[in-house]
Amino acid sequence: MTRTARFFRIGLPLTLYGIFLLLPFYWMLVTTFKERQELLVSPNPFLIYHWTLEHVVGLLTQTRYLHWFGNTLLIALGATLLSVSVSYITAYAIIRLRFPGSKPFGTAIFLCYIVPPAILFIPLGEVLVKLGWFDKLWALIPIYATFLVPFCTWLLIGFLKSIPRELEEAGRVDGASNLLVMRKIILPISVPGLITAAIFSFTLSWNEYLYALVYMSSPDNKTVSVGMTSELISGDVFQWGQLMAGALIGVLPAIVVYFFFVEYYVAGMAGSLKD
């Protein structure tokens, strides 16, 4: 390919995609560090002429943002731990133990995966009220497990299938129980699959909005997304500097986790589509 042909086939389209896909992130970054006056009047809004930390400081000292951040982190970690453990033993049971009904059970789990929260949030709220879980922060952990367990089990089923059966048969011959084989032989080899499941669980929990919005009512029990949209946006005056600072800081954990494990993430996405 000539240089011009390469430019039109790769360089140019990639630049256009880059502008479109990264624009909101760039906009968060620029707004966060720009002086208040400059947000409204500026010779070029894409540049920063006067840097400031006032929005970040204001966000962290005048609002409950740090508290919401802690809530989100706690819920995301808790939901990840619960979901990955439950999914691992479920996937193991379905693929390796093959009890009566394990096939329809696997299909049922897959069907749970495609039930969107949008059709569940009203009746699930009723259930939470009856259980006394309404407006309890920790309740989000088992609630998030309802969409994480189907996804992770599905992912881990695909992963466990690729582990040769001979490995556990060898263990069985040596007299190890099924439980011991699951813990000592299969678990260590499953680590890459478990990492993939954990990253997805963490980012999906960090992203969740509808359940947290409906079920958490006191300001101290909110997550970052809910707190920002319900407490920081009030009336017609938007504090764009603080809002974008909050968005930027809130986006970071998901992005950091993603970049650390990008290979696992991509493999997981491709895998969840295929099997």
Residues 3-32 that bind other proteins (CB under 8 A): 6, 9-10, 13-14, 17-18, 20-25, 27-28, 31
CA distance to 32, 33, 39, 232, per residue, from 29 (Å): 5, 7, 12, 18
Is 51 among the residues that bind other proteins (CB under 8 A)? no
Q: For residue 86, which amino acid is it? A: V
Which of 146, 163, 168, 219: binder of other proteins (CB under 8 A)?
Answer: 146
CB of 32 to other proteins, least distance (A): 10
Q: For residue 192, which amino acid is it? A: P
Is 77 among the residues that bind other proteins (CB under 8 A)? no
Which CB atom, from 119 or from 191, has the smaller least distance to other proteins? 119
Give phi and psi for 51, each to the nearest 5.
-75, 150
**Residue 265, number of CB atoms within 10 A of its CB:** 18
Is 173 among the residues that bind other proteins (CB under 8 A)? no
CB of 177 to other proteins, least distance (A): 5
Distance between CA atoms of residues 168 and 171, nearest Å: 5
Of the candidate spans 48-56, 57-65, 187-195, 256-264, the one that interacts with other proteins by CB under 8 A turns out to be 256-264
Which of 102, 169, 174, 220: binder of other proteins (CB under 8 A)?
Answer: 102
In sequence order, the β-bridge partners of residue 51 are 34
Which CB atom, from 51 or from 259, has the smaller least distance to other proteins? 259
Distance between CA atoms of residues 239 and 47, nearest Å: 19
Is 203 among the residues that bind other proteins (CB under 8 A)? yes
**Residue 112, number of CB atoms within 10 A of its CB:** 15
Which of 156, 160, 198, 247: binder of other proteins (CB under 8 A)?
Answer: 247
Give the torsion through C-alpha atoms of 209, 234, 66, 144, to 10 deg: -10
Is 207 among the residues that bind other proteins (CB under 8 A)? yes
